[in-house]
């Protein structure tokens, strides 16, 4: 202990004579700084923890309110987007309604389970003057025709259903045929073998029970010749997007 004390004294005296800082003093100062830092951090953490515990109920309440507000805003945003979409669709139908003054606007409200048939249900029926065999179109073209009409709803057979049959003609050249459903497309059969039809030609309805002439059915994408060579068949892509229709116009037969 005496030797250690003598060494400490010698270090201190030497540092004092040379004007430098004693290693022991530097070490002590460093330890003091570390202790103060640790103590200060612990004090701040303890104070913050106490504040957090005090404010926890209000923070939880604010969090619940913010979550509820977020849900309300999300719901309101979805409702506004739907209103905008409905407005756009109604505006798109306006020219079609203007062409057919006695037409009835309707919305799609149902699809067949498991897509057994290519039909949809609309929210207008006999009360709104909708009748069997009325034509149904949208802003883009032919959708189908009414096959059942009850007082407040009607069933529409889509033009792509296998049982659908509509008189049609290739607009360029006025060549006649019969448009039959082909599930995802339309086959216009019995077109004259001499008709120079080609992909890109527009196909429209002929004057018949359900439609006046000129309603767009779709565009030819492929031409097939019958095995006998007596007629041609045009494969037509429907003008109306039947997978996403929402609003339609019922045209009196």
Task: Write the DSSP string, 180-228.
Answer: EE-SSSEEEEEEETT----TT-EEEEPSSSS--TT-EEEEEEEEEE-TT
pLDDT at position 44 is 67
* Residue 50 to residue 171: CA distance in whole angstroms: 82
* Residue 202 to residue 107: CA distance in whole angstroms: 27
* pLDDT surpassing 90 at residue 9: no
If one counts the domains in the chain, the total is 2
39 contacts: CB under 8 Å, gap ≥ 6: none
pTM of the model: 0.66
Same domain assignment for residues 114 and 20: no
* pLDDT surpassing 80 at residue 13: no
The H or E element containing residue 229 is: none
- Please answer whether residues 235 and 221 qualify as being in contact, where contact means their C-beta atoms are separated by less than 8 angstroms: yes
Mean pLDDT across the chain: 84
Residue 89's pLDDT band, with cuts at 50, 70 and 90, is low
Same domain assignment for residues 115 and 75: no
Same domain assignment for residues 201 and 136: yes
Range of the domain at 152: 104-251
In this predicted model, what pLDDT tens digit does every residue of 176-188 receive, in sequence order?
A: 999 999 988 999 9
* Residue 34 to residue 59: CA distance in whole angstroms: 35
In this predicted model, what pLDDT tens digit does every residue of 119-158 receive, in sequence order?
A: 999 999 999 999 999 999 998 999 999 999 999 999 999 9
Nearest alpha carbon to residue 147 among 178, 180, 170, 125: 125
Same domain assignment for residues 95 and 118: no
In this predicted model, what pLDDT tens digit does every residue of 133-142 receive, in sequence order?
A: 999 999 899 9
Q: What is the dihedral of CA 83, 246, 253, 131, to 10 degrees?
A: -90
Domain at 194, CATH number: 2.40.10.350
DSSP SS3 for 248: strand
211 contacts: CB under 8 Å, gap ≥ 6: 135, 142, 145, 166, 205, 251
């Amino acid at each position: 202990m005496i030797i250690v004390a003598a060494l400490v004294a010698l270090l201190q005296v030497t540092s004092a004579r040379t004007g430098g800082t004693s290693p022991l003093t530097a070490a002590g100062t460093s330890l003091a700084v570390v202790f103060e830092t640790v103590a200060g951090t612990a004090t701040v953490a303890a104070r913050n923890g106490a504040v957090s515990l005090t404010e926890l109920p209000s923070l939880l309440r604010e969090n619940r309110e913010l979550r509820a507000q977020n849900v309300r805003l999300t719901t309101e945003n979805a409702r506004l987007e739907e209103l905008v979409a409905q407005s756009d669709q109604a505006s798109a139908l306006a020219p079609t309604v203007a062409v057919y003054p006695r037409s009835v606007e309707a919305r799609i409200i149902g699809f067949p389970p498991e897509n057994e048939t290519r039909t949809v249900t609309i929210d207008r029926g006999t009360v709104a003057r909708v009748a069997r065999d009325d034509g149904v179109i949208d802003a883009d073209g032919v959708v189908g025709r009414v096959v059942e009409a009850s007082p407040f709803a009607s069933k529409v057979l889509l033009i792509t259903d296998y049982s659908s049959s509509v008189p049609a003609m290739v607009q360029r050249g006025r060549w006649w045929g019969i448009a039959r459903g082909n599930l995802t497309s339309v086959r216009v059969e019995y077109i004259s073998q001499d008709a120079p039809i080609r992909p890109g030609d527009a196909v429209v309805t002929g004057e018949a029970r359900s439609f006046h002439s000129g309603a767009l059915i779709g565009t030819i994408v492929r031409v097939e010749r019958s095995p006998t060579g007596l007629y041609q068949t045009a494969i037509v892509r429907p003008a109306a997007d039947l997978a996403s229709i929402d609003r339609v116009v019922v045209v009196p037969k």
